[in-house]
Amino acid sequence: MKKIELEIVALSHSITQTHSYAVVLGEVNGLRRLPIVIGGFEAQAIAVALERMQPSRPLTHDLMKNFMNAFNVELQEIIINDLQEGIFYSKLVCFNEHDTVEIDSRTSDALALAVRFGCPIYTFENILESAGILMDDNGGTKKKKAEAVGVTNDISENEELHKLSLEQLQNLLNEVLENEDYIKAIAIRDEMNKRK
């Protein structure tokens, strides 16, 4: 089967499941999107790596990367290879100087490692066909289609950030970083950057 390359295009709250997030993968050079609901810890692990934040202590996925590097194991790619009853299944394709090994993984963990290693993310046509969303060229239906699968940004939270001063935003940023809430930190940082 031909592999289709994906990239992370969004990370947001999920409106279908409480305390869950969605990572949206986009087809490279294509219009299809693949939303995957993940837990809060995994969302933070992905957000930390995407934003190149440096937590005071290594997160679990950082530890895994350090462990793999210590033993000269490289992550070549991840493949989202199955979808059963709404659950995505993935594998890590790892190699060293002697061997290539495929390791079963939760998709959220595989994505967190892919961001850290900078390796490609792949899936197959049948998975995109059954769970993907087709976006139009001008983006006019993106919001509507994304909401249909429960993926949305927390608009009210962004409106509240808009009302704060830069000093208040900086104080809030320091507070959420201290609490290791990296997803909120990204939203605050983005609001601060809009004003510069």
Q: What is the pLDDT of residues 135-178, one digit of tens each?
A: 766 543 343 333 333 344 443 455 578 888 888 888 887 787 77
| Number of CB atoms found within 10 A of residue 43's CB | 24
- Could you read off the pLDDT of 56-98 as tens digits, one per residue? 888 899 999 999 999 999 999 999 999 998 899 999 999 999 9
Is residue 8 very low, low, confident or very high in pLDDT (cuts 50, 70, 90)?
Answer: very high
Q: 20: Cβ–Cβ under 8 A, 6 or more apart, which residues?
A: 13, 14, 37, 38, 39, 40
Q: What is the pTM of this model?
A: 0.72
Percentage with pLDDT > 70 across the chain: 81
Percentage with pLDDT > 90 across the chain: 41
Instruction: Tell me the three state secondary structure of residue 10.
Output: strand
Residue 186 in this model has a pLDDT that exceeds 80: no
For residue 124, the model assigns a pLDDT of 96
For residue 154, the model assigns a pLDDT of 42
Strands 32-39 and 20-27: antiparallel
Q: 67: Cβ–Cβ under 8 A, 6 or more apart, which residues?
A: none
Quote the DSSP letter at residue 160: H
Q: 129: Cβ–Cβ under 8 A, 6 or more apart, which residues?
A: none
Contact between 23 and 11 (Cβ < 8 Å): yes
Mean of the per-residue pLDDT values of the chain = 82
Instruction: Tell me the three state secondary structure of residue 28.
Output: coil
Ranked by mean pLDDT, which of 37-46, 48-57, 65-74, 173-182 comes out on top?
Answer: 65-74
